[in-house]
Amino acid sequence: MSKYSIESFVNETKEKPEQRDYFELEKPALLEINLNNQSVWTKMGSMVSYVGNINFERQGMLSGGLGNLLKKAISGEGARLMKAEGTGKLYVADEGKKVRILYLNNESVCVNGNDVLAHEQSVKSDITMLKSIAGVMSGGLFQVRLSGTGHIAITTHGEPLTLMVTPDAPVFTDPNATVAWSGNLTPDLKTNVSFKSLIGRGSGEEFQMKFSGNGWVLIQPYEEVYRIER
């Protein structure tokens, strides 16, 4: 049989049925979620296929309580999550970005809102804001804090790099290349240029996120322009 035959192609690329984890990395850019009368939150528009009996419900603007209503209305986060519920296999992806699965064990992590692909219903999500004019200009104002116990899936452009933060060695990052950081850290946004020089800027080098304390920050080799979806 030729290695280029259709049969060879199917055997090489077909689903691996022996894998049955709740969150499974089927391919580097494709997440498989195995639902057994369960529900999960996924990024709006990320579903590429499913097998079984799964229903989808768009998250309402009031989901998560009134406390997040204003932040969701401003950021568009309220329109970016989809609830999938039922039994079957669900496949989600985001523009070919690489998927990373993390299991939180009564822990928390902060993720740029555009890089959250999915999380278990048991994981609590809260939108956090960095109150700075630089944050508004960069599009990096809104992040999602994921906390509790359960699986989450995040996405990165290319292979990410984790930088360790210590009290004597703070880490500075471009907001558009910053994916996630440990939940105990609260970054500051700083700029060394005047407000008028931000107008018409072409990149994020004019301002940075500063991480201080003990923890880690995840960056990607790509400056992502975050979209606000409504």
Instruction: For 105-129, give the DSSP string.
Output: EEEEEEEEGGGEEEEETTSEEEEEE
Place of tokens 């944050």: 135
Contact between 165 and 212 under an 8 Å Cβ cutoff? The reply is yes
Question: Does 196 reside within a domain?
Answer: yes
Question: Does 32 reside within a domain?
Answer: yes
Q: Quick check: 78 pLDDT over 60?
A: no
Question: Does 57 reside within a domain?
Answer: yes
Mean per-residue pLDDT, 98-119: 93
Instruction: Give Cβ neighbours of residue 57 (< 8 Å, ≥ 6 apart).
Output: 82, 83, 85
CA–CA gap between residue 161 and residue 216 (Å, rounded) = 10
Query: What are residue 86's DSSP bridge partners?
Result: 38, 54
Question: Does 191 reside within a domain?
Answer: yes
Q: Quick check: 227 pLDDT over 70?
A: no
Instruction: Quote the longest CA-to-CA distance of the chain.
Output: 66
Query: What are residue 129's DSSP bridge partners?
Result: 142
Mean per-residue pLDDT, 132-142: 52
- Higher-scoring residue by pLDDT: 195, 209: 209
Question: Does 228 reside within a domain?
Answer: no
Question: Does 127 reside within a domain?
Answer: yes
Q: Quick check: 149 pLDDT over 80?
A: yes
What CATH number corresponds to the domain at position 158? 3.60.160.10
Whole-prediction pTM:
0.81
Query: What are residue 148's DSSP bridge partners?
Result: 107
Question: Does 197 reside within a domain?
Answer: yes
Q: Quick check: 143 pLDDT over 90?
A: no
Question: Does 225 reside within a domain?
Answer: no
Range from 99-103, 152-156, 221-225 carrying the lowest mean pLDDT: 221-225
Two tokens at 130? Answer: 């960095």
Q: What is the extent of the structural domain holding 28?
A: 19-219
Q: Quick check: 76 pLDDT over 60?
A: no
Residue spans of alpha helices (H) in 87-218: 133-138, 195-198
DSSP state of 204: S
Q: Quick check: 20 pLDDT over 50?
A: yes
User: Domain count of the chain?
Assistant: 1
